[in-house]
Amino acid sequence: MIEIKDLHVETDDKEILKGIDLTLQKGEVHAIMGPNGSGKSTLSYALAGRDGYNVTKGTASINEQSLLDMLPEERAAAGVFLAFQYPVEIPGVQMSNFLKTALNAVRKARGKDELDALEFLKLAKKKMKELGVSDDMLKRPVNVGASGGEKKRNEVLQMALLEPSFAVLDETDSGLDIDSLKIVADGINKLRSPERTFLVITHYQRLLDYIKPDVVHILADGRIIKSGGPELALELEEKGYAGFLGQAA
Amino acid sequence: MSASKNIMKFPKKSRYKPETADVFVPMEEGGADWLRALRKSGFDELKEQGLPTPKLERWKYTNLLPLVKNFGAELGASDVVYEDPDKLVQNMGVLFEDAPRWLIDVLSQAPVRDDMALWHLCNAYIRDGVVIDVPAGEIVDKPVEITITGHDGAFFVPRTVFRLGEGAELTVIEFHKGEGRYWNNRVTNVIVGPNARMRHYRIQENSADAVYTQNTHVQIERDGTYEGFTLAAGAALSRNQIHAELSGSNATCDVSGINILRGSQHGDTTLEIEHKAPHCTSHQFIRSVLGDQAHGVFQGKVYVSRGADKTDADQLSNALLLSEGAEMDTKPELEIYAEDVKCSHGATTGKLEDESLFYLRSRGVPEDQARALLIEAFVDEVADKLGDEAVREIVRKRVEIWLKK
């Protein structure tokens, strides 16, 4: 279970999140929708522990373990995974080396045996096949020269390998054409399980056509102004953010 | 009333500091005429210039003197061990008994600039060194490995000559190491004949208190290729100075380096590539990783002579500062007198990208390991371009070990 209570986050000395309360039961998919500048990315970075996103008040926990005192790598080991809106390109670091290092670091922290090169390769190829990612990618530097779709598929592959219990998808649909979006959403759906909780952050409703949420929240100006079922996303699509923001005020 | 002014005459301000050479005494006489003449001219030049100080333009960022005080009164020895499957290495000292004309000419060649007292210092005490002379057409498959070990208190000034005849190929890997405080000052001449190819690698891991100053002069004839690389991880102060002349058309010169320095280490890379013939290509690619209070210097110059048309030259220095106290000084220069050339240079100094670090850490990679991955990736772009696969692996291994220290 993921519990976020009265979370306030500052960045560059400006309060962006002004008290977020969210409870995600194990296996649920929650969507957070909000206009630009509402604090969507801030929430994802604060949960993943990025420097410069300072929690000034409130708590966040995963399975009753407090997240906020943990380093980013400790959060990953504890089961948090952030799929980046803009996956970072890292020239010179080979994808296979990156994936193996990350996987073994997480396995070690979770008390599992580390995989040797051969075991890793076998596992990686299996996951890649399931997600329709080409083997060539392993030899390439992390995200360098990859298309938007490839980068997002890489994120899903990383998720598949690291097996998080809580995945935060930060605007996974941004920069994707409809075909890529389908492929990526399909990959994410394959990873849905009763053990895995998702927080899907998006500006547009279209992603939610493919990844069906259990609960939808609307974020505006650092606060959740409304929560409801999947129908809320459709209502939002109809009225637009302006309509909702007016209603809240 | 007009009074005639007394005009005081001040001595002309000199860039040189001759008194810094006071400690040096002439070597005992002996040997062939040419050898005695070379020692004498070396000694005279040294006495006139003194050791280089930051008053010299090309020594602005590197202050040698405080680290080499008290060295020079006597010449020490180093251990030199070869891995030389094809028996190519000749001992220069033995050759001096009946030195071939070409060798005398190479050794007697004057340095190309007037700030090279350290070159003259080698001549003043010329006694031994290594010679490899590969005949035309001979392709040496196995690299020659030379390990030079310095000992505490030693001051040694070997000269080295590699000559490749037309179409010859040679790979040399030099390993520099040692214990304690010593000063290794070297001069190396490389002559790459027409269509010949020299790969010249240096793994510089001198002791933390050592001073390592080296001058290499490379001459590349038509269609010849020189690939020079240095991994600089050792020495309290190192100066890696290379001057290459592309003297025949279609010659290629690649000079690259990885500097990994920490503590209060000082590492200086000073390169000058002189394009004297048309259709030549040169690349300079230096990457430095500086931790603690380490100080890196890159001075790179490309000089394109009149007539060296269609020159293709580039030069790149990238430095990664791992701490607030680390410092990098760079001075890229282009001097072009030819038509229709393609020349570029660039220098960057920066920190590890926060975004990349966070990305790796968000995937569970601990911070130390994430930093190591990014540093390895940064320097690997240099290693990756080296022609010799075994050397690429040696370099990677050394960097990995350095990162774990």
What is the predicted pLDDT for the residue at B9?
Answer: 63
Cβ neighbors of B34 (< 8 A, separation 6 or more) are: B99, B104, B108
Closest C-alpha among B240, B231, B271 to residue B382: B231
Closest C-alpha among B48, B59, B58 to residue B14: B48
B356 and chain A in contact, CB less than 8 A: yes
Checking if the pLDDT of B288 tops 90, the result is yes
What is the predicted pLDDT for the residue at A237?
Answer: 85
Q: φ and ψ at B392, to 5 degrees?
A: -55, -45
Span B27-74, pLDDT tens digits: 877 889 999 999 999 999 999 999 999 999 999 999 999 999 888 877
What is the predicted pLDDT for the residue at B258?
Answer: 98
Average confidence (pLDDT) over A71-98: 95
Q: φ and ψ at B278, to 5 degrees?
A: -75, 165
Which one is predicted more confidently, A115 or A174?
Answer: A115
Tell me, yes or no, whether A129 lies in a domain. no
Average pLDDT over all residues of chain A: 93
What is the predicted pLDDT for the residue at B1?
Answer: 46
Average confidence (pLDDT) over A163-188: 91
What is the predicted pLDDT for the residue at B5?
Answer: 57
Which one is predicted more confidently, B296 or B112?
Answer: B296
User: How far A239 CA sits from the closest chain B CA (Å)?
Assistant: 36
Q: CA B236, CA B264: separation in Å to the nearest integer? A: 7
Question: How many domains is chain A partitioned into structurally?
Answer: 1
Interchain contact, B361 vs A71, CB within 8 Å: yes
A113 and chain B in contact, CB less than 8 A: no
Tell me, yes or no, whether A82 lies in a domain. yes
What is the predicted pLDDT for the residue at A242?
Answer: 84
> Which two three-digit tokens encode residue A149?
């779709």
- For chain B, the farthest-separated pair of C-alpha atoms sits apart, in whole angstroms, at 89
Q: CA A162, CA A75: separation in Å to the nearest integer? A: 12
SS3 B166: coil
A111 and chain B in contact, CB less than 8 A: no
What is the predicted pLDDT for the residue at B70?
Answer: 82
Q: Is the ipTM of this complex over 0.90?
A: yes
B252 close to B226: Cβ distance less than 8 angstroms: yes
What is the predicted pLDDT for the residue at A205?
Answer: 87
Interchain contact, B361 vs A91, CB within 8 Å: no
B347 close to B316: Cβ distance less than 8 angstroms: yes
> Which two three-digit tokens encode residue B180?
């304690």
Q: What is the torsion angle, in degrees rounded to the nearest 10, for the CA atoms of residue B286, residue B287, residue B292 and residue B297?
A: 20
Give the one of B353, B358, B373 whose C-beta lies nearest to A101's C-beta.
B373
User: What's CA B338's distance to the chain center, in Å?
Assistant: 27
| pLDDT range class, residue B10, cuts 50, 70, 90 | low
Chain A interface mutation, best of B320, B353, B361, B381, highest count of A Cβ atoms under 10 Å: B361
A12 and chain B in contact, CB less than 8 A: no
Strands B197-204 and B225-232: parallel
> Which two three-digit tokens encode residue B316?
């790149």
Q: CA B46, CA B222: separation in Å to the nearest integer? A: 34
Q: Which residues pair with A23 in a beta bridge?
A: A3
Residue found under tokens 């410092």: B327
A101 and chain B in contact, CB less than 8 A: yes
Burial (0-12, 13-18, 19+ Cβ within 10 Å), B204: buried
Average confidence (pLDDT) over B195-220: 98
Q: CA A133, CA A154: separation in Å to the nearest integer? A: 8
| pLDDT range class, residue B7, cuts 50, 70, 90 | low
Tell me, yes or no, whether A139 lies in a domain. no
Tell me, yes or no, whether A150 lies in a domain. no
Q: CA B95, CA B260: separation in Å to the nearest integer? A: 37
- CA of A91: which chain B residue's CA is closest? B377
Interchain contact, B359 vs A87, CB within 8 Å: yes
Average confidence (pLDDT) over B369-392: 96
Span B318-344, pLDDT tens digits: 999 999 999 999 999 999 999 999 999
User: How far A187 CA sits from the closest chain B CA (Å)?
Assistant: 18
- For chain A, the farthest-separated pair of C-alpha atoms sits apart, in whole angstroms, at 58
B21 close to B51: Cβ distance less than 8 angstroms: yes
A51 and chain B in contact, CB less than 8 A: yes
What is the predicted pLDDT for the residue at A249?
Answer: 42
Q: CA A9, CA B46: separation in Å to the nearest integer? A: 66
Interchain contact, B362 vs A105, CB within 8 Å: no
Q: φ and ψ at B78, to 5 degrees?
A: -130, 165
Residues of A in contact with B369 (CB under 8 A): 101, 105
- CA of B359: which chain A residue's CA is closest? A88
Residue found under tokens 């020239």: A91
Average confidence (pLDDT) over B223-237: 98
What is the predicted pLDDT for the residue at B53?
Answer: 95
Checking if the pLDDT of B3 tops 90, the result is no
Q: Which domain holds residue A190?
A: 2-92+164-248
Checking if the pLDDT of B168 tops 90, the result is yes
B285 and chain A in contact, CB less than 8 A: no
Average confidence (pLDDT) over B299-315: 97
Q: Give the range among B21-35, B95-109, B185-199 with minimum mean pLDDT.
A: B21-35
Checking if the pLDDT of B2 tops 60, the result is no
Residues of B in contact with A101 (CB under 8 A): 365, 369, 373
Average confidence (pLDDT) over B95-111: 94
Q: Which residues pair with B265 in a beta bridge?
A: none
| pLDDT range class, residue A238, cuts 50, 70, 90 | confident
SS3 A230: coil
Residues of A in contact with B380 (CB under 8 A): 92
A184 and chain B in contact, CB less than 8 A: no
- CA of B360: which chain A residue's CA is closest? A102
> Which two three-digit tokens encode residue A143?
């995200």
Residues of B in contact with A91 (CB under 8 A): 377, 381
Give the one of B364, B376, B378 whose C-beta lies nearest to A162's C-beta.
B364
Residue found under tokens 């890649």: A128
Average confidence (pLDDT) over B169-185: 97
Q: CA B186, CA B241: separation in Å to the nearest integer? A: 10
CA-based end-to-end distance of chain A: 31
Residue found under tokens 């604060």: A46
Checking if the pLDDT of B371 tops 60, the result is yes
B102 and chain A in contact, CB less than 8 A: no
B296 close to B288: Cβ distance less than 8 angstroms: yes
Q: Which residues pair with B273 in a beta bridge?
A: B244, B302
Q: What is the torsion angle, in degrees rounded to the nearest 10, for the CA atoms of residue B153, residue B157, residue B158 and residue B163?
A: 150
**Pure H helices in B50-179:** 65-68, 92-95, 101-108, 117-124
Distances (CA, A) of B114 to B20, B45, B345: 17, 10, 25
Distances (CA, A) of B29 to A116, B26, B35, B36: 64, 8, 10, 7
| pLDDT range class, residue B206, cuts 50, 70, 90 | very high
Q: Percentage of residues in chain B with pLDDT exceeding 90?
A: 89
Checking if the pLDDT of A109 tops 50, the result is yes
What is the predicted pLDDT for the residue at B129?
Answer: 92
Average confidence (pLDDT) over B187-213: 98
- Within 10 Å of residue A84's Cβ, how many Cβ atoms? 25
Q: What is the CATH number of the domain that holds A67?
A: 3.40.50.300
Q: Percentage of residues in chain A with pLDDT exceeding 70?
A: 98
What is the predicted pLDDT for the residue at A245?
Answer: 75
A93 and chain B in contact, CB less than 8 A: yes
Which one is predicted more confidently, A36 or B263?
Answer: B263
User: How far B372 CA sits from the closest chain A CA (Å)?
Assistant: 11
Chain B interface mutation, best of A12, A98, A112, A144, highest count of B Cβ atoms under 10 Å: A98
Average confidence (pLDDT) over B258-263: 98
Q: CA B108, CA B78: separation in Å to the nearest integer? A: 23
Residue found under tokens 């997480």: A106
Distances (CA, A) of B95 to B32, B77, B92, B131: 11, 19, 5, 9
User: How far B249 CA sits from the closest chain A CA (Å)?
Assistant: 34
Q: CA B102, CA A243: separation in Å to the nearest integer? A: 90
Count chain A–chain B contacts defined by CB atoms under 8 A.
77
Span A121-171, pLDDT tens digits: 999 999 999 988 888 899 999 999 999 989 999 999 999 999 999 999 999
